[in-house]
Structure formats: structure tokens, C-alpha cells
A and B are shown apart, each in its own frame.
Chain A
Amino acid sequence: MNHFLKSPALRTLAITGLLGLSAISPALAQTAEPTMDKGDTAWMMVSTVLVLFMILPGLALFYGGLVRSKNMLSVLMQCTMITAVVMVIWVVYGYSFAFGGGTGAFFGGFGKLFLAGVTTDSMSATFTDGVVIPEYVFIAFQMTFAAITPALIVGAFVERIKFSALMAFVILWVTFVYFPVAHMVWDAAGYIFNLGALDFAGGTVVHINAGIAALVGCIILGKRAGLGRDNMAPHSMTLTMVGASMLWVGWFGFNAGSNLEANGGAALAMINTFTATAGAIIAWAIIEAVLRSKPSMLGAASGMIAGLVAVTPAAGSIGPVGAIVLGAIASSACYFFVAVVKQKFGYDDSLDVFGIHGVGGIIGAIGTGIFTAPGLGGTGGDDYSIAGQTFIQAEAVVITILWCGIASTILFMIVKAIFGLRVNEADESVGLDLSSHGEAAYHG
């Protein structure tokens, strides 16, 4: 394995029953006594709640501000309920399906259903031999990743999706898309992991996955009633800016936390999460300033998210200056997709989940292969091959797109047949806050 290949696969080598092991083989125990560092553990606990903060309230407010005021609460509610439901599923079977210790290339097995066998003494491996963190921390950290991914998808079909249908879709989607892809990418037995793909913090698992499911979903659901005729401008750019900024703060848990230890690797991911994002914000603002003479706050916030998405797979292996370039490239590509491609094809990816997470994720995954090169400031070794690694990255992207695209299509069709995906036109016109949830975000 290449020394820079820091995918969190070793995480799954949960070291349980240490005392029993050392009793059987004292010599082995002497050479590699696994140690748990309290600093690492504390950092991972903070990272875990930072990722929760990305969803609630970060993503919820970012999305909520972008919809019309009559749909504000529906978006907050969708993010909140998805988070809660996926957390329950995660401990019941999600963790096992993704990291259950099974040796299949696509499935983690049933070994840790209901977190069977996990105790306060259970440890998960990190990227350093002999350094471990409590498995409960690893489970909780990964749980927040599983929760945010389906919450990202809702942006594509806000203002019209039926709440029951959404919840049913999310349960199916994490089961048949998220858990298998997380296993494929991050588990030592996983198919994409064994191709040698680099996905530090979830460019494929989280962002391409969410972006593709979003694109499929908005095409199957169809456009919002009145699109192109009614004013669908964001009802609160203020909350959108607040939410985007919370996402940025939380993203340090997402990216630097994915290092699993509080050391130089986490510090690299941290500075990259600053510089890539800064580069992306500036790029989007410059594009708008040049093309329409008015750089917008929504543009800057969109660039912010595009940069964060792009640096996600790359954070642990590229350099901070390369990250600026990667962020700027991703931002430009995302601008092109949300401002040009979407208008041209007419799909109603309402909050640009595909345009930013899907496209930014793909640029980030491919860019990781390029900017990891030592000549471009990355941490690749002397024998690093840009072409070779980029090809592997592209393979990982294609597999994720196919798996997610096909499975999501089937799942949306199943949910459509059972529940119907959209609210009726009258409810859509009133707004989902009143028609689906019986409450209003603002009064007076």
C-alpha cells in the first residue's frame, strides 16, 4: 500500500478483546501494544459533533433560506427527521452493513447488528500502526456521515416532495446505496478501496452519491409548479449565508476528523479545508463579476460549498496551494452547471445538489489524483503516477455514479408506486409548511 494512501479502511480492523489476545500471544502484544491517545479521542469526539452541526442547523438553514418562506419549515423538518432516522438505522444495521467486519467487496455483513459485541473497551484502528480510538467514537463519527448524505439530497426536490415518500426513500437509499458504497470505498475489504482510490473524507461516498441521487430524484419528481413563471427567489439569503458558514465550520470535523488522529495529517486536512474553500469563493465571485458585473452573496456561498465539496476527497493528500487551484476549478465547473447546464436542460434540481455536490464531488475526486502529485505540492511519493492514480479515481467515480444512479432510480420508482412522490398541486401551492406539517415559519 502506498504510504499516502490514507483511506480510512484500517478503521474497520476493530481491535476487541485485547487482553485475551495478549494472553495468547505475549510476544506479539509486546511488539505492537495498541494505545489509545486521549488527545485523538477528544478530537474525534469534537469532530463528530462538528459534523452533526453541519446538518443541524448548518445544512438545514442553508437550504431553508433558499426556498420560499411557505416551505421553510418543511426543509428544516426534512433535515431533522432524516438525521434522527438514519442515526437509529445506523446502530441497528447500518454500521454493520458498512463496517461489520465482513470480507465481501460490497457488504460489511451482519456481524455488528445492534452494535453487537461493541463495548467501551472496543477499539478501532487509525492510520498509525498501534494507535487506536474507541470504537464507539468511530461509530458515532461515521453515523454523522451517514446522516448528512441523504439530507443533502433533499435540496433537489424541495417544495414539492411528499414527506412520507421522502422518509421511505431515505430508509431504502441508505440501505441500498450509502452503506454499500461506504463499505466499497472505506472498508479494507471494499471494492473501490482495493482499486487504490483515494477518498479521504467522502467525495464519492457522500457528495457524488448525494449529487447523483438528487439528479435522478428531481428528474423523476418533475419540476415545481410555476417554475419559470413564479418568483422562486430565496426567502432569506441571510439564513443561507449563516447556514453555509456553519457548514464550513462543521466541515473541519468532516475533513480533519477523517484523519482519525489529532496530528500533522489532521492539520493538513484543516489548512486545505481553509484554502480550497477560499479559492473557490474567490473564483465564483470573479466569474459573476466578469459575466454579470455583480458578484452575489449566493454566488459566494455557492462557491464556498463547491470548494468544501471538492477538497473533501483530497484534504489528506494534496498541498494547501494545490487546494486553492482545486477549489477554484471546482467552483468554475459548478458555476457552469448551475447557471448554464441546468437552464439548458431544464431539470429542476431546485437547490443545485447535483450542480454543486455532484459536479464538485467529481472534480474533487479526479483532482485528488492530480494534486496529490508531489510536483504539485501533494504528499504522493516519488513513484507517484498522476495518470495512474487519476485513472483509478475516475474508475471510483464511474462505479459510484452507476451504482447510485441505477439503485436510486429503482428506489424512487418503488416509492413512487407505493406512496406517490409529490404532494398534490393545491398543497404545493399553499406550501409544505402548512399542508404537510400544519405550521408556519413566520407570522405577521
Chain B
Amino acid sequence: MKLITAVIKPFRLDAVREALTGLGVEGLTVTEVKGYGRQKGHTEIYRGAEYAIHFLPKLKLEIAVKADLAAKAIEAISESARTGQIGDGKIFVMDLEEVVRIRTGEKNAEAL
């Protein structure tokens, strides 16, 4: 099993969700986060006072999938989250040791 963590532009969320649902991914966790990468921040000006905003708002998605689905899921996220502009985000993939569904106690593949 793999845990895919994707940091994306907030307005691409629905596109990513649709792409993943199409693959049969059953669940997705979304967190509002802030951060910076190559895009750096931006500048806001209020009546002449300039503020450098170093951390930009992004969404962090966490998706647990069976190993054979991981490559397709990564591709689906890449395609659906991409705008081609700087700041589209990143995908991190890790091995996942164990999954438990709290309600039933099912484990691993049955719990996904």
C-alpha cells in the first residue's frame, strides 16, 4: 500500500477529486495548509504599505491506495492539478505499513 501526499493549488481540488473517484479511489483527506516552493510568495499593497506574503495557501491531500493503483493515482493527480504555471504543487509517495477501519476493525486492503 502507498500513502500519496499531494500539495495542490486550492482551486484544482474538485478536478483532482473527480479524477481520483474515476479511478476508484474510495477516500481522500484534505487539509488547508500554507507553504512555499519555487513560486515563493507574493506582495500585497494596502494604501501604499507593502507586505511580502511568504507562505501561500495550498491544499494538502492524503490518499491511501493499494500499491497497484498508486502509479495511476499519481498520474491522475498530476494531470488534474496541473495548470502549467509555477506553484502547481508536489506529490510525495510513501510506503504504508498498516491501515485500520475503526468501525469494523478491518485491516489493510479491506480497510481501504
Chain A interface residues (CB < 8 Å from chain B): 231-234, 292, 294, 296, 298-299, 302, 338-340, 342-343, 352, 355
Contact = CB atoms under 8 A, between A and B. Distances in A.
Interface stretch (B4-12, B45-53, B58-66, B68-76): B45-53
Contacts of A355: 47
A298 B46 contact: yes
Chain A at the B interface: mostly helix, strand, loop or mixed? helix
A231 B42 CA distance: 12
B45 A338 contact: no
Contact of B48 (A232, A233, A234, A343): A343
A338 B51 contact: no
B44 A338 contact: no
Contacts of B47: 298-299, 302, 338-339, 352, 355
Contacts of B44: 233
Nearest to B53: A231
Interface in B15-52: 44-49, 51
A231 B45 contact: no
Nearest to B47: A338
Contacts, number: 26
A332 to B, nearest CB: 14
Given A294-B45, A302-B47, 12 more contacts: A231-B51, A232-B49, A232-B51, A233-B46, A292-B45, A296-B45, A299-B47, A338-B47, A338-B48, A339-B47, A342-B48, A355-B47
Contacts of A234: 46
A233 B53 CA distance: 10
A292 B45 CA distance: 10
Nearest to A355: B47
Q: How large is the interface on B (under 10, 10 to 19, 20 to 34, 35 or more residues)?
A: under 10
Nearest to B48: A339
26 contacts: A231-B51, A231-B53, A232-B49, A232-B51, A233-B44, A233-B46, A233-B51, A234-B46, A292-B45, A294-B45, A296-B45, A296-B46, A298-B46, A298-B47, A299-B47, A302-B47, A338-B47, A338-B48, A339-B47, A339-B48, A340-B48, A342-B48, A343-B48, A343-B49, A352-B47, A355-B47
B108 to A, nearest CB: 34
Contacts of B49: 232, 343
Contacts of A298: 46-47
Contacts of B53: 231
Nearest to B52: A231
A342 B51 CA distance: 16
Nearest to B45: A292
A330 to B, nearest CB: 15
A297 to B, nearest CB: 10
A355 B46 CA distance: 14
Q: Which 5 A-B pairs have the closest CB atoms?
A: A339-B48, A338-B47, A231-B51, A233-B51, A298-B46
A382 to B, nearest CB: 43
Nearest to A231: B51
A264 B39 CA distance: 59
A339 B51 CA distance: 14
A302 B51 CA distance: 18
A343 B51 CA distance: 13
Contacts of A296: 45-46
Nearest to A294: B45
B87 to A, nearest CB: 19
A234 B45 CA distance: 10
